[in-house]
Amino acid sequence: MTTRTSKISSSKIKHSNDSKPIFNEAKKWLPGFLLCSVIAAAASFVSAQYGGPTFLYALLIGIAFHFLSDNHKCIPGIEMSAKKLVRIGVALLGVRIAISDVNAIGAAGVVALAGAVILTISFSLLLARLLKLPSMLGILSGGATGICGISAAMAISSTLPQNRENEHYTLLTAIGVASFSTVAMVLYPLVVTVLGLNTFEAGLFLGGSIHDVAQVVGAGFMVSSEVGDAATLSKMFRVAMLMPVVVFFAFTFRSAREAGSDKAAAKQPLVPLFLVVFILLVVINSIGLIPTEVVTFSSDLSKWCLVISIAALGVKTSFEKLSELGWKPIILLMGNAVFIAAYMLAVVFMWRFIS
């Protein structure tokens, strides 16, 4: 009896010891995570009440709390929010994409939109070289402009070598694309009206040139509900391009990430787990196995993960450090925005001429 009791006691002690590391790790994350979550909630509230991009508000409010980035209680949670949550958010974006969406655009539309992504990243790298800026900034700004704004910047950033410089480039890109995307949301519907674009042309132009999904939806529905639907469809194909682009950069920079990391980097998979989940969710959603309620919940959860993550990135960076980067990145981001808009207009008029 005594032996049996001692075995049960030792089993309980072992179970308790096994759960302690997890509990202690979560306890370390909690202060920083709560800080970033409150900032994300405040940004969402301001956006809902007064309009404007949630991501940009989260960035700016986060920067205002930069003084907490050196607080030893907050650091683990801020780091976790900035680096882990973004992977969860990007993985869950897969529920918003189905292969049928690609078929609805048509072969010519697919080629045009894929060209927008590839050419914008290539143009951004070339312009970065001309401006004597780091190629990493060119990749981030080109990917964010060409694909889906801040979500793309965060996803691509997770495949690059993890260092302070790349964090600064990611934050600068996020602020820039959010700002230019908001300007585009206001101006591009006027371009549609002045040029007399039809529903398909307007949807292709707006969905193919505006950075963030929310701004595409806003700009499209400013024109009409039909243009809003067409623009959203075009934009979702650009979001789908996130998968191959991030996989490409994950392969390209794998050795660089490992060289800049500790022993954990040697155990990194060839394709990051969050991308595998992203691909699986796209396939499952294309088959029609994900209920509408689950898609809605997952999309909302994805957005919250990304907002909290960008808030954490804001907390980690100060305006003083951003100002050290100078005016050239602004020219880079503006150049990318002008390039993709001009490209999509050229595609639209070429389409009109051929038809």
302-329 pLDDT per residue, tens: 888 888 887 887 787 666 655 665 788 8
* Burial readout 190-225 (b: 16 or more C-beta within 10 A, e: otherwise): ebbeeeebebbbbbbbbbbbbbbbbbbbbbbbbbee
**Which tens digit of pLDDT belongs to each residue from 270-300?**
556 776 787 788 888 888 888 888 888 988 8
Task: Tally the C-alpha atoms within 13 A of residue 352's C-alpha that lie toward its C-beta.
Answer: 16
- pLDDT of res. 270: 52
**Residue 100: pLDDT band with limits 50, 70, 90:** low
Average pLDDT over residues 35-53: 88
196 phi/psi in degrees, rounded to 5 = 65, 40
Q: Is the pLDDT of residue 1 over 80?
A: no
Question: For residue 264, what pLDDT band results from cuts at 50, 70 and 90?
Answer: very low
pLDDT digits (tens, 9 = 90+) for 116-152: 999 999 999 999 999 999 888 999 999 999 988 877 8
Handedness of CA 234, 236, 239, 244 (dihedral sign): negative
The answer to whether position 326 is within a domain reads yes
Domain membership of residue 331 (yes or no) is yes
Under the banding of pLDDT at 50, 70 and 90, the label for residue 266 is very low
Output the pLDDT for position 165.
Answer: 77
Other C-beta atoms lying within 10 Å of the C-beta of residue 259: 10
In a domain, 237, yes or no: yes
CB atoms within 10 A of CB 288: 9
Q: Who has greater pLDDT, 14 or 227? A: 227
Q: Is the pLDDT of residue 183 over 90?
A: no
> Using alpha carbons only, how large is the chain's radius of gyration in Å?
22
- Please give the full DSSP string across 192-228, using - where no structure is assigned: HHHHT--HHHHHHHHHHH-SSHHHHHHHHHHH-HHHH
Predicted pLDDT of residue 335: 93
Top pLDDT among 303 and 46 is at 46
pLDDT at 11 (0 to 100): 52
Check whether 49 has a pLDDT greater than 70. yes
Q: Count up the domains in the chain and report the number.
A: 1
* Segments of 172-280 assigned E as strands: none
pLDDT above 90 as % of the chain? 16
- Greatest mean pLDDT range, 162-166, 209-213, 259-263: 209-213
Q: What is the DSSP string of 148-166?
A: TTHHHHHHHHTTS--SHHH
Residue 90 pLDDT > 80: no
Q: Give Cα 102 distance to the centre of its chain.
A: 20
Return the pLDDT at 290: 84
pLDDT band at 265, cuts 50/70/90? very low
Whether residue 144 is contained in a domain is answered as yes
Residue 199 forms part of a structural domain: yes
The answer to whether the pTM exceeds 0.85 is no
- Note down the domain range covering 138: 76-354
Task: Please give the full DSSP string across 321-349, using - where no structure is assigned.
Answer: HHHTT-SHHHHHHHHHHHHHHHHHHHHHH
Q: Say if 244 falls within a structural domain.
A: yes
Is residue 67 assigned to a domain?
A: no
Q: What does the pLDDT read at residue 259?
A: 63
- Most confident listed range (24-38, 68-82, 125-139, 266-280): 125-139
Tell me, what's the pLDDT at 275? 66
> Does residue 323 form part of some domain?
yes
